[in-house]
């Protein structure tokens, strides 16, 4: 694929309002990264252990822009797939995989490889229908040895949390665009995803709560907590100014502002951190 086509795809992804300054920035990004990718892929050790773009962010950007496989830096993408396989198995990797983006069928092939389902692995490339892909995905996730929490949404975005290793791996599968966001951490979920994410995490950590919207455009994560819970302990997680306490029907309720004026203010990892922290404190009381 030509540099012009790559630039056009990235402009469509990044420059929603088509502002000229944004388009110029993307053009410069493509120019710079073409040189960086060539230099990086020329040194196998650097590519494997210390890629010149932090966490292979440019690779994820190209995949998210729906570029075809032949437009991706081949060796970098191959290594990224191996890294994803390792983190799903709870194994360490030398390069951060936070907010990785890979193609849907490659994600399914990784799951089939992990579960040893050779028959499914072979037929993935032939599957076209969205419903068939969803069925394969659900089946493969159910075969993982790790604990997996699946969302119930029937929309194009399918949320799953894989409990492998020390930290849960949050994945968002986009069946319409045929891409998967793996190990979501620094991105911020929108309301529809936030509701499902909160439901799964609260359930997994033995907590009760809900997502509430105010008439002012703010959204809050409401969690029931023990009456002796010290909410000031949450300051170390960077929630200063976002947390408040109220009492309702004899219960102590923690309110965390997760959206302001309709825009998310907390990342996936921050939401995970606070629910896990409260869940572990709650578990100590049992």
Using the CB atoms, write b or e for 11-20: b if 16+ within 10 Å.
beeebeeeee
**Phi and psi based region of residue 234 (left: phi greater than 0; alpha: psi -120 to 50; beta: remaining):** alpha
C-alpha 207/C-alpha 205 separation (Å) is 6
Would you give per-residue pLDDT tens digits along the chain (286 residues)? 676 789 999 999 999 777 889 999 999 999 999 999 999 999 999 999 999 999 999 999 999 999 999 999 999 999 999 999 999 999 999 999 999 999 999 999 999 999 999 999 999 999 999 999 999 999 999 999 999 999 876 567 899 999 998 889 999 999 999 999 999 999 999 888 999 999 999 999 999 999 998 888 889 999 998 877 777 777 666 666 778 888 877 788 888 889 988 889 999 999 999 899 888 876 555 4
- Residue 86 has φ and ψ, to the nearest 5°, of -65, -45
Cβ atoms of 67 and 1 within 8 Å: the answer is: yes
- Residue 286: the pLDDT is 47
Domain residue ranges in the chain: 55-182, 191-285
Topology of the domain covering 191-285: 3.90.1150
226: helix, strand or coil:
coil
User: In which element (H, E) is residue 219 found?
Assistant: strand 219-225
């Amino acid at each position: 694929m030509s540099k012009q086509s790559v630039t056009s795809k990235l402009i469509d992804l990044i420059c929603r309002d088509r502002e000229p300054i944004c388009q110029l920035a993307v053009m410069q990004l493509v120019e710079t990264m073409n040189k960086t990718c060539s230099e990086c892929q020329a040194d196998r050790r650097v590519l494997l252990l210390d890629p010149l773009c932090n966490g292979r962010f440019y690779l994820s950007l190209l995949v998210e822009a729906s570029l075809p496989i032949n437009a991706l830096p081949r060796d970098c993408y191959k290594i990224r797939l191996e890294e994803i396989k390792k983190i799903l198995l709870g194994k360490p990797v030398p390069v951060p995989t936070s907010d990785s983006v890979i193609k849907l069928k490659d994600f399914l092939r990784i799951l089939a490889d992990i579960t040893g389902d050779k028959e499914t692995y072979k037929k993935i490339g032939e599957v076209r229908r969205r419903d068939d892909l969803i069925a394969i995905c659900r089946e493969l996730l159910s075969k993982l040895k790790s604990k997996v929490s699946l969302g119930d949404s029937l929309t194009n975005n399918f949320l799953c949390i894989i409990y492998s290793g020390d930290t849960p791996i949050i994945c968002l599968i986009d069946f319409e665009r045929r891409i998967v966001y793996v190990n979501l951490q620094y991105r911020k979920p929108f309301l529809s995803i936030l509701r499902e994410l909160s439901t799964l995490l609260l359930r997994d950590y033995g907590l009760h709560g809900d997502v509430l919207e105010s008439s002012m455009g703010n959204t809050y994560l409401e969690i029931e907590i023990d009456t002796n819970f010290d909410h000031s302990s949450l300051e170390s997680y960077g929630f200063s100014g976002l947390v408040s306490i109220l009492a309702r029907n004899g219960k102590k309720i923690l309110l965390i502002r997760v959206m302001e004026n309709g825009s998310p203010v907390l990342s996936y990892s921050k939401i995970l951190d606070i629910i896990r922290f409260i869940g572990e404190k709650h578990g100590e009381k049992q």
